[in-house]
Amino acid sequence: MEDDAPVIYGLEFQARALTPQTAETDAIRFLVGTQSLRYDNQIHIIDFDDENNIINKNVLLHQVGEIWHISTSPADKGVLATCYNKTSDTKVMTCAAVWRMPKELESGSHESPDDSSSSTQTLELLCHLDNTAHGNMACVMWEPMGDGKKIISLADNNILLWDLQESSAKAEIYCIENAHGQLVRDLDFNPNKQYYLASCGDDCKVKFWDTRNVTEPVKTLEEHSHWVWNVRYNHSHDQLILTGSSDSRVILSNMVSISSEPFGHMVDDDELSDQEDQHQEEKYEVF
């Protein structure tokens, strides 16, 4: 059986941000954010029809600035967050906001890629994430286990945790100040253990946090010798943590003691001695 021909969708402007619509279970849908200094930016809602191997789309205006990061709510398919550039007093700042798309687009109505006659719609601002005291926003991530009301943003060397209030345009905030000695590069939630997350940064460290008590990290890894750009949990075995660094190394760490199953599965006394090694932290390197 031959592979299907590739499906290509062209954008009017360049783009550096895209995300799947995680709350959508009935369609294959992605959101792409554009970057343009001279024109209003756009969010393209792209639906892929796998039966007919075609793409349908809608376009929303994002008039506040260039989009550098985009993410979608895990609970509400009409809600998304963007990080974008904004010029203020001759300075460029990266801000963040939470938006809602028009109701008619949540149901999956769309136009064909060649249809340019319909008017472009705009997003409804739900909440501006005020970063005045904390620096430039790098990204916004949603708590995967929640109801879409808890999000985290990275701003310089701080980690900001937001509680979005349904009846208000504001967000209550608490902050892990100086979470890293230098810029925070990335963050990931533990997919199986609520309140736990991992962060990494330019201080060459990977830190694990319990958001119920953020005075200090639960654990810190210092295996890299240069900036740590990415950190990810294994979704099936959350004791496995993968990190990538500009020291040209990718490290897989086995963090059993802070996983969702720190003691492994139940074993008989005769098997206990054979299982002792499971409780020790290990690391594996890929060069």
Taking only the tens place, the pLDDT of each residue in 33-45 is 999 988 899 999 9
Of 215, 74, 98, 85, give the one whose Cα is nearest residue 153.
98
Flag whether pLDDT at 20 surpasses 80: yes
User: Looking at the whole model, is its pTM more than 0.85?
Assistant: no
Length of the chain in terms of residues written = 287
Topology given in CATH for the domain delimited by 194-287: Thrombin, subunit H (2.40.10)
Tokens 């376009």, residue?
A: 59
Q: How far is CA 50 from CA 108, 109, 114, 272, in A?
A: 15, 17, 19, 50
pLDDT, residue 30, reads 94
pLDDT, residue 44, reads 95
Dihedral pair phi/psi, residue 35, rounded to 5°: -130, 115
pLDDT, mean of residues 57-83: 93
What is the distance between the alpha carbons of residues 39 and 133, in angstroms, rounded to a whole number? 29
Residue boundaries of the structural domains of the chain: 1-178, 194-287
Identical fold, 1-178 and 194-287: no
Torsion of CA 275, 277, 278, 280, to 10 degrees: 150
* Tens digits of residue pLDDT in 226-241: 999 999 999 999 999 9
pLDDT, residue 276, reads 41
What is the distance between the alpha carbons of residues 174 and 43, in angstroms, rounded to a whole number? 29
Average pLDDT value for the chain:
84
* Amino acid at the residue 274: D
pLDDT, mean of residues 200-229: 93
Torsion of CA 178, 180, 183, 188, to 10 degrees: -110
Q: Tokens for 7, please give them.
A: 């499906």
Does domain 1-178 correspond to CATH entry 2.130.10.10?
A: yes
Q: Fill in the DSSP letter of residue 120.
A: P
Flag whether pLDDT at 31 surpasses 80: yes
